[in-house]
Structure 1
Amino acid sequence: MRYSRQLDPSNKKFFLYGMTLSLVIFYLIHILVFFNSRSRLNKYADDIFFQTEQLDFQIKRGLSRAKLVASEICSENDLDILRKILNQYYYLGDIGRVKNNQIICTVKKGLLKEPINLEDKPYKSSSDILYWNNQNDLFIDEKEAAIFTQGNTAAFLSTSFLAEVHIDIQTRNGSGGYLYLKDNEYILKVFDKIIVADHISQTLKKEASLYDRLLLPGSLIHTKHCEENSDICLMTIIKGGGVFQLSYFYIVLISLLSIILGMSVTYVLVVLQGGLTAFLKKFRKAIYAGKIYPVYQPKVNLCTHETIGVEVLARWNDPILGSVRPDIFIITAEQFQLIRPLTEQLIKQVFRDLNSILESNHNFSVSINVTASLIIDDDFISFLKDEVSQYKFNNKQLVLEITERTTSNREAMARASKIIKKDGYRISLDDFGTGFSNLSWLTTFEPNEIKIDKFFTNSIDTETINSITLDGIISMLNRLDVDVVFEGIEKENELNFIKLNMPNAIGQGRLFGMPQPIDELVAYLSN
């Protein structure tokens, strides 16, 4: 089947649905990448903050121990003691002495020829430790370092601090972090890729912006770590989180994949919808064109071996769809209000096919499947009477097999069945013992005939619950004044069992004849 009209790429709805779904898929991928980045950022922050806590401890401990040294400051003994203290704290790059806001000596540089002024105003923490900007070309191991002072002692941040910690996230817009003082937000150290000043001021705010919460391009992912007993806090940052942190190549690649997937899913959904629409259109056309035709399966009296009638079964062979299974198109007809036109078209064809047979043998009957909803449909009953009136066979030769997949109005069905039987038509209860065709329907329809479902017939000579149930059904039906038809008889042992337990029963199944078109039925009856 072709669905070109529904799937035309120029169709605005198709394009709109496809692009909307593509955006949803892109955003879902974006969220996945974001949470993956957030997870790695937290891992990164944990690694850094562990070292930050060690740094904070070592600064406080180192300065505290250096204050207790009793030797004259900057003397050889003083520097020797400071050297021992320095060797115990990995994150301290150097320790020295301060006098009048001037560094006068350090362990690594010894007594300075010219003291170095600490000119800028320091930042004071809650632990009474002063934090100074590095200045006047003062450096440790040829690199700048932050300075911490308490009393007459100065400690320098080692360049080894955070040297082995790196963020493991690919980003084109920048990532990294910085250390700052909890009380006054003084920036102690910026590490990894450069974080510009506006990012620092932005992330120091207490709440993330709505723009950042929506994870839009350029939004910042940041995590903050602060401990109650520590003077130092950590902020880690990724700019342009999620997909937008990736390179342009990956953004374009993910965009293309989202569009392809979104359009593909939309295509499949439209195909399914278009497929159902096209199937219904073809099915409806086949009904009114008489393309759904009847075949006939013989019903045989097991006592006399005489063919006493046939059951009508519907078939549909489509040039494109092939042979469509009856259970598919019958259910479709019931669901989409096509069961009445389908049944009426079949009845017209059946009467044309069987008219001569029915008129020549008034003991021969034809069974037609009808739903319970049609039984209570006055228009359908009027149609049936009008069709029968055009022929000379007796009403009693027409058997209406009640097939039903939903419960209906029982009172209405009981009234309708009495009227139908009064007009001479016979009622058969199909698929007895299964689904809705159970014992309660016996009192509703008071049928002339009961058909035993093939599941029970095929259970003969087996030790199953169906076999046990069949014994009870036969025992009950032997007491009722109804004709009993066993469907699906395929084997001799099934036939023998039925003849032994219900010799006057009627048989139907492969053992007697397959469903066949009218020309083959005529030949079958002649032989």
Structure 2
Amino acid sequence: MKRRRRLAIAVLALLGTLLGAASGYWLGRASLMRTAGSGLASYAGGLVVHAEEYSRELSGIQKAFNPSPFQFCSPDEIAKMQALTYESLQVKEIGRTRNGKLECSAFLGRLNPPWQERAPSLVLGQGVNIYANVPLQIAGLAVGTIVEGGGVSAVLSPTAFDHWNRPGMRYMVEIVDRKSHQAVQIAGDKLDTDLGWVLSERSTRGPGMAPTEIYRARCSHVSPVCVVTASSTAMLIEDGKAVLWEYTALGSIAGFGLCLAIGQFYLRSMGTAQQLRRAIRREKLSLVYQPVIELPSRHCSGAEALVRWSDEDGVAAAPDFFVHLAEELGFIGELTAFVVRRAIAEVGEILRKNPELTLSINIAASDLEGDALFLLLDEQVKQARIAPGQIALELTERSTTDMDSLRCAIQRLHEYGYQVHIDDFGSGFSSLAYLHELAVDAIKIDRIFTRTIGTDAITASILPQILALAETLQLDVIVEGVETEAQAEYLIQMGRTMQVQGWLFGKPTVATELPKYKGLFQAETVL
């Protein structure tokens, strides 16, 4: 009996080890593929940003000659083209065209007779033509790409994207005409992809694409550029052998010592931070929404999403505490992503039916680093079929101390169509400089100033000054903490349209209760 029991235990242990090893291998492989996909997506996003900078430079060159300060193809105009070519890292030659002919260029000078242009490879809107694989006189008849529009042609540098080369990764940069569903490659390797898949930016493999490759696509929202990145799965597995062996070994140990692993996992998961991360992964947090009311009309103009969480003992945690904890430990991005997905999912239909309403979502400054938040917002807004302008992203004032790193990110949010608000204004590092430099849409005045209305507090005089500042800078205003009719009347007497939040008009509530606030306060002032 003992021998059989030992044999059964040995067989079970062997099966557990084998199953654990197999599971570990496939988990390791999936981790490699997931990491590679994320890296490829980030790589593609960076290439898109570079392509957008490239596009802006080409637009600047075209504007320099439309109108031109010099006579067409005069020595002064040719000198201007030579100077711009010399200064550019992205453009190898600039020319002037008229009636389908190249009349002069920085490198070749005045052409007599003018050169007849070939048929364009792609015609974009506003008279922009793309010529691909054109023999270039300036490069010993090597072929290149020319962008022509507004009577100005520019030869693109064949090395413009070379500094973006990465080991084990390939890329393809295309100029795309969405109307005609045509594309022309201007840089990188030729990758066999489907244009419909590229434009969709899906992570799943498109039709006709090699099953031995991982692909990611990203398209610009401000220029007709799309980028596809790719990497070989065989190379990833070869390079990731150490990772696969580690996962396999860990899987074997897990299969053999399951009880010990469970015990260790339990001990590791006791802390608050682990509970919070686990709650985020399992989507155990909830959202409530506080109505935003416009004064003096008292119409509901939107709502702010507020996250709530109770730990595994059922004790409600203060939002300020666990949000700060997530920021400190570096997983605030996971919390923000959960709030974005859940809020748009819960309120999307309301926003779709009421395009005048706005959903405010709090974010951290670190959320604006990289492309993750931008990609998530774009995905969720498209799925919900709402306008980006219906989403307002609120940054706390303390997040605005590093203006240099935020300026470009806020500009990018504006280019996508989102609103940007400064939350808790007046409680942190107030200055005219950051409001001007960051070019936000609105400021949200902290409740500490609302409480001084009608009192003799020293800070009571600050609120009118903030309102005057906002009016001077043409910023919208949202006032927090309006809890009495006297406070509301005071704000109405200021003589400008503004938005308010507070228990006078509504406590935070679930999404399904929000529709009742639309138009409710035209006749009523309290709930």
Q: Please, what TM-score do these two structures have when normalized by structure 1?
A: 0.46
Bigger radius of gyration among the two: 1
Q: Please, what TM-score do these two structures have when normalized by structure 2?
A: 0.46
